[in-house]
Amino acid sequence: MSSKQPSLGTAIFWFVMVATVGLAADLISKTVVFAAYWPYYQHPNTWQPSSEPHWLIDGMLGFQTSTNGGALFGMMQGYQSVFIVLSLMALLAVVSWLFLYGAWRDRILLLCLAMITAGILGNLYDRMGLWHELRTPEVYHYQVRDWIHFRIQGVPFFDPWPNFNIADALLVCGVGVMMVQNLFFAPIPPEQVDAPANASDGDAN
């Protein structure tokens, strides 16, 4: 991979592409899994809030529909208006970081921010009540749809891990990679990116 910075147009293209693919993967997966497994869609008169696990890897990884009225790991239940405001503020911060502070020049940071944007938008869509059908009980209208069920039997906190979705995974991975980059791989200052090439040109002369 070239060490040269991407152009602004190329950076915008890849940011929009990654964010769009991530958002589509989140919303489509939620729609498909909930249509197939959520009790309220299968049996509208039930009061069961989540489905039974449907295993891909027996006892470890599968589908289980549930809804979350809080943040990650179900914290702060019922504060949807607060989460909506925080999500909008986070999106504004991402755009500012990209274009006012030059984050678009760093490919890894650009990818991380695109993943984070997709994650924010995926859960924001649910929090704004845009996903439910008319028959869905009102109590669930502004909750986030979770469907990925993971557990490691006998291991505290992983038995089971709180259900999550692709948006959550994008948020965690985006932030995680960004932290690793900041801790172990300091970005090259823009003015030094082309320094080796320029130095070689000078020697040739």
Question: Residue 107: which residues within 8 A CB-CB, separation 6 or more?
Answer: 1, 6
pLDDT of 204 > 60? The answer is no
pLDDT average, residue stretch 100-120 = 95
Question: What is the chain's mean pLDDT, rounded?
Answer: 85
pLDDT of residue 45: 77
Sheet holding 161-164, edge to edge: 54-57, 61-68, 144-150, 161-164
Active-site residues, by number, are 146, 168
What's at 193, amino acid-wise? V
Using DSSP's 3-state secondary structure scheme, residue 200 falls into: helix
pLDDT of residue 12: 95
Output 26 or 138, whichever has higher pLDDT: 26
pLDDT of 92 > 80? The answer is yes
pLDDT average, residue stretch 195-205 = 46
- CB 36, CB 51: distance < 8 Å: no
pLDDT of residue 104: 93
3-class SS string, 83-145: HHHHHHHHHHHHHHHHHCCCHHHCHHHHHHHHHHHHHHHHHHHHHCCCCCCCCCCHHHCCCEE
Instruction: Give dist(CA 18, CA 86) in Å, integer.
Output: 22
pLDDT digits (tens, 9 = 90+) for 44-59: 777 777 888 999 999 9
pTM, entire model: 0.84
